[in-house]
Structure 1
């Protein structure tokens, strides 16, 4: 934790240095670092940043030592439109981006960050690479395996941007068959650790969602298409998961024990929370009743009770009874 605090403090000093052309006095740096930091500690921080390769220069002004950042070292970075802190922050964000993107984008992401690495003097990276200690991200637990879909991502992206139809072979889990589809691709969407293709299927006259890892072949055709009216502008806006459909009002009551956990998060943009007796709460959502919603509700066990619609509550009861019967067999 001590090392974590030191890195964050030095990062604040670096930001303050970059934000002023007049430089910082020790008092200025103490203020930027936060309360309770001694002058001696600030001096050590400046020494650490200098040893890491940051071009910090000192001068005297009104009898006080002033620390400033030599921006000539980063002239190439500035010409590209990046400030030093922006570049460092972007490089740091690889922790999050790697967890979110991964899969088919992993190689492109690594290549992009290699270029960022080359934009700064090598001596700076020992400090910068210690910053992820203060920021980490866990890869999505349910992220699918990339399978063979990675090689079709470029094809799909080119077709989306060029408004070209795509002929693809897709493994449908609902029918347990491999089907041929002619689709008009609209976007690739990331949700719940997976990548999905949202496309209009002329044969069915409606938008469909395809899991990218189940696409076995994709060929962009020369045939173009015009976007259909009413195509969704948001990604799965009515679902807690990665599903499309018509939203319904869903009301769920949560126990007093789970209530604080429900209150502290926004589960969906439509949510409304009403306080009940004994610390319980009632959550109202306007969402698609899909497997994502059912799994989420059932994950709370006895702490969550679906009040309406009744058909959804019955579906959960049926699933619980099936699970109970399955366990009794073992």
Structure 2
């Protein structure tokens, strides 16, 4: 992010001549102190930037400075453009504009080598639009309202101040301060619907309050799972389940059998989470050990079969 900001700052100084630190701070939504740190970084990188005091003063480049592409090797130019394209793929503000300008300066053809889509396969337009909206709420410190489907299957209205996005175990979450709970909460994004930015009074919040960060009872679904006691497991998975095995188990835990099936020796958190996870494999999985988990799977599948034998 800082690289993109430094490049943009250089272009602004080239175009406008002299710009004050508060103007740059407002432009990039950072503190004045951060602007002066960026100025120092530019200077250390060999960019002739200087500051002047008094009326008409500010941050400037020397009159004869030109961003010379000959200072960079062909490989270095590619690396800069590829890095900027990574920023652009992640929807970082203004990185696309800088990428376009540098592509023109270096006389490089634009190669679309990366694309980042945070939404899951099969998601609709509304789900795809959710991530830019959450990013906007986090960067602009805006409050959102939404409907949330909790673990009990109940839909509840929520109002929260998003602080950051979190990716954990193949799922996206948003960590936010919940005004209903007066504490930090972690919401699974696929359970959120009707997400809107709040307008008018109460639309913004300032810096996260210290009591938010220290609020007791912070709930994270993944932490709750990881704190459960772990039990050893031996699983047999059919060849058709190979696409999941390589993503979900360590290589050293996987043993391919002569019949093409896989023997998995691992340990996992106990409890209802484990049973639901094992059931997600359907008839591709058989629990070999321990006996207690095997018996529970037998009981659950028998109950499931009963519903279809009526």
After TM superposition, the score normalised by the length of structure 1 is 0.46
User: Whose relative contact order is higher, 1 or 2, with alpha carbons under 8 Å and at least 6 apart?
Assistant: 1
